[in-house]
Amino acid sequence: MIEKQHLIDRFISYVTVDTESDPNSNETPSSSNQWDLARPLAEELKRIGMQDVIIDDNAYIMATLPSNVDHKVPVVGFISHFDTSPDFTGANVKPQIIENYDGKDIVLNKEENIILSPSYFEDLLLYKGQTLITTDGTTLLGADDKAGITEIVSAMEYLINHPEIKHGKIRIGFTPDEEIGRGAHKFDVEKFGAEWAYTMDGSQIGELEYENFNAAGAVVTVKGKIVHPGYAKGKLINSMYIATQFINSLPTMETPEHTEGREGFFHLHNMIGEVEETKLQYIIRDHDMSHFEARKNVINKLAEELNSQYGREVITVDISDQYFNMREKIEPVMHIVQTAKEAMEQAGIVPLIKPIRGGTDGSQLSYKGLPCPNIFAGGHNFHGRYEYVPVESMQKATEVIINIVQLIAK
């Protein structure tokens, strides 16, 4: 069993470094503060005994644990990202450790009355008696995906310290900017040199995923015309009213809060408006490619209809594909999923094989030629103040990594 306090100390050393990515930047990494973890992380890998440790000009980190067997073994990789989501602040994270969780409400912040409650977040009850790490209610935690980094580094350190555990060559990689969809953009698959890899970026213990959403982003720009309101009759065009009409014309039950499983959605995540111009930012998601294309067509058709209604171009739409469902790249090599499943069962974990309702570096990497299923890292409630991770889940994820490399070596 991986030593508990060592995991906690390592995880806290990562999450207390602000690594929020910036979607408005064109640089890689998108924020300079990602270097504040990337550089020390590369040094830590050297310190624990990893070889060929490289950190490139874009903060991508790669390292090798050489094989300790005398027969040919496929090279396997493990990948996580060190940036945190710009959806909620990751600055000044103050982790709280809850020992022997009793199944009751957890007061994250007494002054602001912020409560992490199992009456709302039922998954908490899965972890009664365990050690939870939470936020103080004012920031996210960063378990997405610093839990994954903790597990990979800890597994490599354990293997280095226990050479009696047989394994082939292992490659590990840590990326910036996953949270803004760019984590795999500058990842050099050829240099990484693995036959396949696993992202340690899932949530609940047992999750094993090889399907994810097809994803696109849409920027809907609505143009109005500003006139003095006292003399506006027949002249003023309020872009915010037209934007509201657009929003209300999309299927109201096909939003994140009304969907689950493989059901897709339209998600309005940002809106800035004045009379003269309003911008709506949507994400479009669906596991099924034909449904995904249909959703993009719905957006475009609706804009055309409103333009026709107003007799001029009041709405323009810019849709950009972001990533695609990795299932078609994984199915030809399903043995890599089976290996992860067996590794979990060896650790006493019931595998939860299900589609990801989101994205992962593994999707883009799979399309770049590196098949890459996703394994649980253990955290819950990502991207917000209610994020938490059970330490025991991180221990189990670390054990799964160790089991995987032993299975491959056989």
Residues acting as catalytic residues = 83, 178
Residue found under tokens 């992490």: 116
Would you say 275 and 238 are in contact if contact means Cβ atoms under 8 Å apart? yes
Report the C-alpha gap between 106 and 64 in whole angstroms. Answer: 41
Report the C-alpha gap between 279 and 221 in whole angstroms. Answer: 5
197: three-class secondary structure by DSSP: strand
**Opening angle at CA 404, ends 6 and 48, nearest 5:** 35
Upper half-sphere CA count for residue 339 (Cβ side, 13 Å): 23
**Opening angle at CA 183, ends 177 and 186, nearest 5:** 115
Report the C-alpha gap between 240 and 201 in whole angstroms. Answer: 38
283: nearest Cα among 303, 261, 254: 254
**Opening angle at CA 251, ends 246 and 253, nearest 5:** 135
64: nearest Cα among 170, 166, 156: 170
DSSP 313-360: --EEEEEEEEE--THHHHGGGTHHHHHHHHHHHHTT---EE---SS--
